[in-house]
Structures are given as C-alpha cells and as structure tokens.
Amino acid sequence: MDAGGRATQEAKAEVVFQRPGKRLPGDLAMWFFILAELTVFALLIVTFAVAQAWQPALFHASRGALDSSIGLALTLSLLTAGLFAALAQEQVRRGRSQWAGGLLLAALLVASVYVGLKLSEYQHLLGLGLGMEHNSFFTLYWILTGFHFLHVLLGMLILAWLAVRCWRRSQAGDDAVLESGVLYWHMVDLIWVLLFPLVYVLN
C-alpha cells in the first residue's frame, strides 16, 4: 500500500474510534496491549486472593515479613513518576519539549527509587530464606511482584527513550508515541494500585 492509501486508512480509523468530542489518547494498538496485560495481572491477582482464602493463617503470618511502610513508599514513588510523566505530556502539547524531557527524567529518577527499594526488599527476604519455594504466599508474592517489577523496568526504558526523543524534537501538539509510552507507565501504576493492598495491606 502506498503512503497516500495508508494515510486514508489511518484517517478512516480515526473516524471510527474518535467520535466528536471523544478522543482516545495514544495508539489503539497500545490500548489492546494494555487490555491484554490487565487480563494477565487480573488472573494473577485473583489467584493470589483465592490462595489466601484457602490458607488465611499462612498468608497472614507470611505477610508479617513484609513492611507496609515500604509498600507505601513503593506506591508513592510509582504514583509520583506517573505525575511527572503526565505533566511531561502536557508540556509537549504546549510545545515545550525541553521541559517535557526534564519532567520525564524526573519521572525516571523517582521510578529508580522504586527499583532501589524493591531490590532491597527482595534482598532482605532472600536473606531471611523467604524465597519462591518457601510457601505458597511467597511463591505468589515473587511471581506477582517480580512480573510487575519487570514491567516497571520496561516502563523506565520507555520513559528514558521518550525523554531523549523530547530533547531532540521541538514541535507542539499531540504526540501519539509519547501518549502511548506514558499510558504504559500509567498502566503499571494502575496494576500496582490493586496489587499493593492485596500483598501488603489486607489481612
């Protein structure tokens, strides 16, 4: 298909998915990817909840090895990185790409607090012998939080790439690539919002 035909097809797709007054930010492909990711995490979260229902005493005792204040610090670092990413998106819309790049760098720095805290928590648990094979709580803890941790690392790579991209460009307006990258980060936040109380808080 030539470039003209592709452009017409993309315009048609926009008509289908963006009714007057309604706009879906980012690429449609990113939204399908987000739905797939949310489905996988939903299965993992529900598995954790069901396992907890079968062994409440074991889950209660095992949760005692986790520090909910660390969980809160992890939450705040993810949400603050999300704020910086959302602010960066706004700056791009206003044509301030350099500012956006700085805000994405700030998001990256705050997200690295999450990585540092999570690694120290993992190290602490391993030091106590609470590895993946210790019991069913820790099996699910390592799978659930480890899988989420990998998503955070990928999100940080995306934020870093977006920051470089912002520093290299200067035009204003909506940027579907930036929106999609930032949406990925917000998805990571959204998953943590349910994962955090389930793993650290609920008894």
Partner 1 sequence: MATSPALIVCWLGLVLLSVASVQLGNTGGGLLLAGAVLLAALGKAWLIADGFMHLRHAPRLWRGLLLGWPLVVGGLVLLSLWLQRGF
- Contact residues: partner 1, CB under 8 A: 17-19, 21-25, 31, 34-35, 38, 42, 45-46, 49-50, 52-54, 56, 60, 68-69, 71-72, 75-76, 79-80, 82-83, 85-87, 90, 93, 183, 186, 189-190, 193-194, 196-198, 200-203
Residue type, 110: V
Phi and psi at 142, nearest 5°, equal -65, -40
Q: How far is the CB of 134 from partner 1 (least distance, A)?
A: 22
If the CB atoms of residues 41 and 138 are measured against partner 1, the closer one turns out to be 41
SS3 17: helix
If the CB atoms of residues 1 and 11 are measured against partner 1, the closer one turns out to be 11
Q: Which helix (H) or strand (E) holds 77?
A: helix 68-93
If the CB atoms of residues 171 and 203 are measured against partner 1, the closer one turns out to be 203
Q: How far is the CB of 3 from partner 1 (least distance, A)?
A: 28
Q: How far is the CB of 118 from partner 1 (least distance, A)?
A: 16
For CA atoms 102, 190, 158, 166, the dihedral sign is negative
CA separation for the pair 53, 56 (Å, rounded): 6
Q: Which helix (H) or strand (E) holds 29?
A: helix 28-54
Q: How far is the CB of 146 from partner 1 (least distance, A)?
A: 19
CA separation for the pair 72, 168 (Å, rounded): 36
